[in-house]
A and B are shown apart, each in its own frame.
Chain A
Amino acid sequence: MGDSQYSFSLTTFSPSGKLVQIEHALMAVGSGQTSLGIKAANGVVIATEKKLPSILVDEASVQKIQLMTPNIGVVYSGMGPDSRVLVRKSRKQAQQYYRLYKETIPVTQLVRETATVMQEFTQSGGVRPFGVSLLIAGFDDSGPQLYQVDPSGSYFSWKASAMGKNVSNAKTFLEKRYTEDMELDDAVHTALLTLKEGFEGQISSKNIEIGLISTDRKFRVLTPAEIEDYLAEVE
């Protein structure tokens, strides 16, 4: 392949006009655990598989869904450690915004700053792109919002989206099930059904994580007990 000669350096274009390292980063995302997000009329829900490498791992200590600000949460598909770096940087940027303007950062601005960081790592020397795609869910004065940010630094606003291993099935399922005026509870049910579609093994409150935010503007991760309740409703 002519392209492989150009795949050593991130900052060199291949003749076909691609940055091969970014393609490879997207492959890393595509082989990560499935995660998805749905924007409802009165909130946003994000969810992910939490398949642990062994039953000996203390699952309560693993948290894939994290807060960037009290009203913005994030989930990832891909390399966990890379997402931690991004969450750390984004949290700092949100606080810097608050220090300057004494106003909580709007979701679009935080997404833009995060995407800028990811893009910088595609155009600098001695670094590699992040091996994660992020789904950022937030609620601010413009209402509920859901954004996906890719390793290249491009970001999109979605009504519903999925990433990771099962992305095409999940997206097809979401396209069929999504309605504009969905309530948050319906969205949680749809998210669970979508996760169930491609799940290997038995879905339970111990091997998935769900985070949601509604009109109270407080992002929170559901406890296993709450997930059990939603799962029971879905059965």
Chain B
Amino acid sequence: MSIFEYNGSALVAMVGKNCFAIASDRRLGVQLQTVATDFRRIYRIHDKVYIGLSGLATDAQTLYQRLVFRHKLYQLREERDMKPETFASLVSAILYEKRFGPYFCQPVIAGLGGDDQPFICTMDCLGAKELAKDFVVSGSASESLYGACESMYKPDMEPEELFENISQALLASVDRDCLSGWGGHVFLVTPTEVQERTLKGRMD
């Protein structure tokens, strides 16, 4: 089994009309054994930037701690929050620093940039950025996520519809992957508020 599938994960982010949603599954496993059913993969960097980290859970946690450290220093020095594009460049640089002994994580970054325009991107474990205008996926369930998003996605969805859409895509995909599932976490972010919801899916 590949190292990226050791813990199992599913992550997806979608762009809507002046909003974005980022969702993950909740299972933490050790190969085939489920060890936790409430594992958080999506972290808030600040009100308008969220990062989801799939792959090896220990690397995800360490990477998250390093990123929070860098962002807090940035906030103190520059007296402002990081834009999502800037944050994505920072994550890419930090991952490439470990080019010959990488963090086994694939981040998904989602945020509201200048003029509250939604921004999403993903990258591989070495920091190769992939920007998208519609959706990005990551994790052991990424192949089924690609399929589900490709068929379900529509541009310019309102927040409620976007939430429905991303939840359906996530739950349908994790059912096809034995290493992810046990429900979902969805963050729906608009310029004025953030809604966090938990999904109940097939608990297996």
Inter-chain contact A101/B78, CB cutoff 8 Å: no
Contact partners of A112 in chain B: CB under 8 A: 77
Binds B, one of A6-14, A102-110, A200-208, A220-228: A102-110
In the bound complex, CA of A108 to CA of B78 (Å): 8
Q: Could you say which of A99, A102, A109 contacts B78, with CB atoms under 8 Å apart?
A: A109
- A57, CB-defined interface residue at 8 Å: no
Inter-chain contact A103/B89, CB cutoff 8 Å: yes
- A100, CB-defined interface residue at 8 Å: yes
- B46, CB-defined interface residue at 8 Å: no
In the bound complex, CA of A101 to CA of B84 (Å): 10
With A109-B77, A109-B78 as contacts: A103 and B93 at CB distance below 8 Å: no
In the bound complex, CA of A110 to CA of B197 (Å): 42
In the bound complex, CA of A157 to CA of B89 (Å): 30
- B90, CB-defined interface residue at 8 Å: yes
Chain B: how many interface residues by the 8 Å CB criterion? 8
Inter-chain contact B86/A102, CB cutoff 8 Å: yes
Inter-chain contact B77/A101, CB cutoff 8 Å: no
Contact partners of A109 in chain B: CB under 8 A: 77-78
Inter-chain contact B86/A106, CB cutoff 8 Å: no
Residue of B nearest to A99 (CB): B93
Inter-chain contact B83/A103, CB cutoff 8 Å: yes
Inter-chain contact A103/B78, CB cutoff 8 Å: no
Whole-angstrom distance from the CB of B65 to the nearest CB of chain A?
19
Residue of B nearest to A102 (CB): B89
Query: Quick one: CB contact mask for A50-87 with B, threshold 8 Å, 1 for yes?
Result: 00000000000000000000000000000000000000
Contact partners of B78 in chain A: CB under 8 A: 106, 108-109
Inter-chain contact B77/A100, CB cutoff 8 Å: no
Contact partners of B83 in chain A: CB under 8 A: 103
Residue of A nearest to B89 (CB): A102
- B85, CB-defined interface residue at 8 Å: yes
In the bound complex, CA of A18 to CA of B83 (Å): 43
Whole-angstrom distance from the CB of A108 to the nearest CB of chain B?
8
Chain B CB count within 10 A is highest, among A99, A103, A108, for A103
In the bound complex, CA of A102 to CA of B85 (Å): 8
Query: Quick one: CB contact mask for A86-116 with B, threshold 8 Å, 1 for yes?
Result: 0000000000000111110010110010000
In the bound complex, CA of A103 to CA of B74 (Å): 13
User: Can you spell out 8 A-B residue pairs with CB atoms less than 8 angstroms apart?
Assistant: A100-B90, A100-B93, A101-B90, A102-B85, A102-B86, A103-B85, A103-B86, A109-B77
Q: A101-B86, A102-B85 are in contact. List 5 more A-B contacts (CB 8 A).
A: A99-B93, A100-B90, A103-B86, A106-B78, A112-B77
| List of 10 A-B pairs having minimum Cβ-Cβ separation, nearest first | A102-B89, A101-B86, A103-B86, A100-B93, A101-B89, A101-B90, A100-B90, A109-B78, A106-B78, A102-B86
